[in-house]
Amino acid sequence: MPQHETADAQELGKMSEKLALLEARLSALEEKVQSGARQESFIKSIEDAGFSGGETVSVDETTIESNILEYGLSWIGIIVLLFGIGFLMMFVQKQTSSYLSSLIGYVAVTGVYILSRYLKNSHEHLAYMLNIGTHLLLYYVTLRLFFFSSPQAIPFKEVVVVLLLLAIGFQVYRSILLKSELIAAIAIFLILATSVFIDATHESLPMLIIAAATSLWLFYRHGWWRQMIFSIVVVYLAHILWLMGNPLMGHPIGGIQFPQFNLVYLFTYGVIFSLAPLVKQDERFKSNVYSSSVMVNGIFFFLALMLDVLLFYMKGYSGIFTWVFIACLGYSIFLKFRTERVFDSAFYAIFSFLALSAAVYGYTGLPGAYFFLSLQSVLVVSWALWFRSQFIVVVNTILFVSMLAVYMVSGTYLDTVNFTFAISAFVTARLINWQKMRLELKTENFRTIYLVCLFFTFAFALYKAVPPQYVTLAWTGASIFYFILSLVLKNRKYRWMAIIMLIVTAVYLFVVDLAQMEVGYRVIAFLFLAVVLFGTSLYFTKFLRKKKTQSMEEEAGS
């Protein structure tokens, strides 16, 4: 065979192999496309059935196995490594000295760090986990220079605390370089751990301020909102742990006997975390981060403050809550003009009025406090009108109904408080009806709740205020008052309240008054109620007929 024919045959063979390989790849791609189409069809059928979860989650056993091997085992490996090095340090310290133990610890830190750098390109996640282990191990080795070590390598606690802060600062720096929110959150947690280990009020609590300030700065600078929410929770929990006497360090629960100006630190955390709504929003996080931070800060601040009051300030907490009221109300006004988000300012307004309620209770006690608290409901709704906040109305309604229920079951009543509840319910209902479009209230439910409260509180106030023989007359007068309101305000709800009031009055007259009233009062009550019933019936019969005639004429004209 000629040489050129042999070359052509070899070339054709290579082309055939390439075509076969190309065909195999196209077949594989076609199978994947068909598999994806079948998967999309299956997902669509699930969504059509109403089981959409928002995101597509595919379950692949190979992927699960890979995640367990790569991520899960690396976490376990880091934990085991840290414990192993820790036990090695303790063993060396028992056998030799604390200096050699610390030296071995720092050598281990260096080795783990070098290993993380070596694996950075080939095993990124394992290198990341080793980096976290480096910082934890560095903190632990430095901690044992003074704490949990006998004899101590460095016998000066202040020096070791400074070294711990330097180690934590280095971790924060590395978290910024690596853009790792997790490493930053661990650094915040280590600051709190340091405050626990120091176990001295005016050294431990400033650590919590450092943690709060660092967390807020990371949120402002890098938009790391998850670590901030985590920091809010753990900072207040650390303060509560201090209030309990720091039992983690072996002290009995409740061992703190004096407040030691801890309120200064508590209010400082609250102020720092309250600055989060002022951070400018961008693509790094969503707007609901603000509401989350505001709510978490408010809830945990309240829990810590209440425990503080129960332990140290039961005789003088009114002044504390008065300052909380002034600060939160002022800040809510500031947020109203500073930001466009309604919830942030509304939450601080609600929190301020809750503090005001506590202050009022402390100054006046019960049942006198109910007088001011019921009037406060009107103030809160007026504030909601200004803030255009339906949230304030909802919370105020819940608190008003709860407070009224507690008052009714208390068994101790004052006429001034009874009528104040009725007046507050009436005025609040009128305010909500007057400005319901401003509040963007789409239903009548809130106003109906206040009208129901008005009906029962007004009847109860009259029952308690007038002598027993005049209850029927008083309730009949109340029904007349409701009828007048229905005419003046052109509102059917008051007319129904008047009708129900008349029915209740008639039942009371037959069930109670017939057995107890003297003949003279009985005659007056029956005649007066009869006149009102007949007069009301005649008036509204004529009114309804006239209205029906007008509607028929309008239909005929159209």
- Per-residue confidence at 51, pLDDT binned at 50, 70, 90? very low
Beta carbons within 8 Å of 15's beta carbon, 6+ residues apart: none
Asked if 338 and 453 sit in the same domain, the reply is yes
What pLDDT does 493 receive?
85
Mind listing the pLDDT tens digit for each residue in 75-114? 676 677 777 877 777 777 777 777 788 888 888 888 887 8
The domain boundary, picked from 465, 483, 515, lies at 465
**In-domain check, residue 396:** yes
**What is the rounded CA–CA span in Å between residue 276 and residue 193?**
24
Stretch among 19-33, 161-175, 227-241, 500-514 having the lowest mean pLDDT: 19-33
Examine the pLDDT at 544 and tell me if it is beyond 80.
Answer: no
Torsion of CA 105, 108, 112, 117, to 10 degrees: 110
Examine the pLDDT at 298 and tell me if it is beyond 50.
Answer: yes
What pLDDT does 317 receive?
86
Examine the pLDDT at 487 and tell me if it is beyond 70.
Answer: yes
**Average pLDDT of the chain?**
78
Asked if 434 and 529 sit in the same domain, the reply is no
Stretch among 196-210, 228-242, 383-397 having the lowest mean pLDDT: 383-397
Asked if 347 and 430 sit in the same domain, the reply is yes
Asked if 397 and 457 sit in the same domain, the reply is yes
**Side chain identity at 427, as an amino acid letter?**
V
What pLDDT does 96 receive?
79
**What is the rounded CA–CA span in Å between residue 470 and residue 473?**
5
What pLDDT does 54 receive?
43
What pLDDT does 519 receive?
52
User: What mean pLDDT comes out for the span 511-515?
Assistant: 60
**In-domain check, residue 202:** no
Asked if 460 and 474 sit in the same domain, the reply is no
**What is the rounded CA–CA span in Å between residue 86 and residue 192?**
21
Examine the pLDDT at 549 and tell me if it is beyond 90.
Answer: no
Asked if 334 and 388 sit in the same domain, the reply is yes
Mind listing the pLDDT tens digit for each residue in 116-163? 778 777 777 777 778 888 888 888 888 888 887 777 788 888 899 999
- Token pair for residue 408? 């009714």
In terms of residue numbers, what domain contains 396? 315-465
**What is the rounded CA–CA span in Å between residue 207 and residue 339?**
31
The burial class, CB within 10 Å (0-12 / 13-18 / 19+), for 164 is buried
Examine the pLDDT at 247 and tell me if it is beyond 90.
Answer: no
**What is the rounded CA–CA span in Å between residue 332 and residue 349?**
6
**What is the rounded CA–CA span in Å between residue 416 and residue 408?**
14
| Predicted model pTM | 0.73
Nearest one of 420, 417, 374 to 396, comparing CA atoms: 374
Q: DSSP character for 150?
A: S
Q: DSSP character for 362?
A: H
**In-domain check, residue 497:** yes
- Identify which has the larger pLDDT, 28 or 193: 193
The domain boundary, picked from 435, 465, 495, lies at 465
CA distances from 181 to 171, 210, 230 (A): 11, 18, 11
Asked if 327 and 406 sit in the same domain, the reply is yes
Measured in degrees and rounded to the nearest 5, phi and psi for residue 314 equal -65, -25
What pLDDT does 79 receive?
76
Tell me how many domains the chain contains. 2
Phi/psi region, residue 206 (left: phi>0; alpha: psi -120 to 50; beta: rest), is alpha
Examine the pLDDT at 261 and tell me if it is beyond 60.
Answer: yes
User: What mean pLDDT comes out for the span 344-364?
Assistant: 87
Asked if 455 and 496 sit in the same domain, the reply is no
Residues in the chain: 558
**What is the rounded CA–CA span in Å between residue 285 and residue 287?**
7
Asked if 435 and 489 sit in the same domain, the reply is no
Q: Are 278 and 330 in contact (CB under 8 A)?
A: no
Asked if 461 and 474 sit in the same domain, the reply is no
Asked if 461 and 477 sit in the same domain, the reply is no
Q: DSSP character for 509?
A: I
Asked if 375 and 512 sit in the same domain, the reply is no
Q: Are 351 and 331 in contact (CB under 8 A)?
A: no
**In-domain check, residue 537:** yes
Mind listing the pLDDT tens digit for each residue in 169-193? 999 998 998 888 998 999 999 999 9
**In-domain check, residue 423:** yes
**In-domain check, residue 285:** no
Examine the pLDDT at 72 and tell me if it is beyond 60.
Answer: no
**In-domain check, residue 380:** yes
What pLDDT does 45 receive?
39
**In-domain check, residue 73:** no
Percent with pLDDT over 90 in the chain: 21
The domain boundary, picked from 442, 465, 488, lies at 465
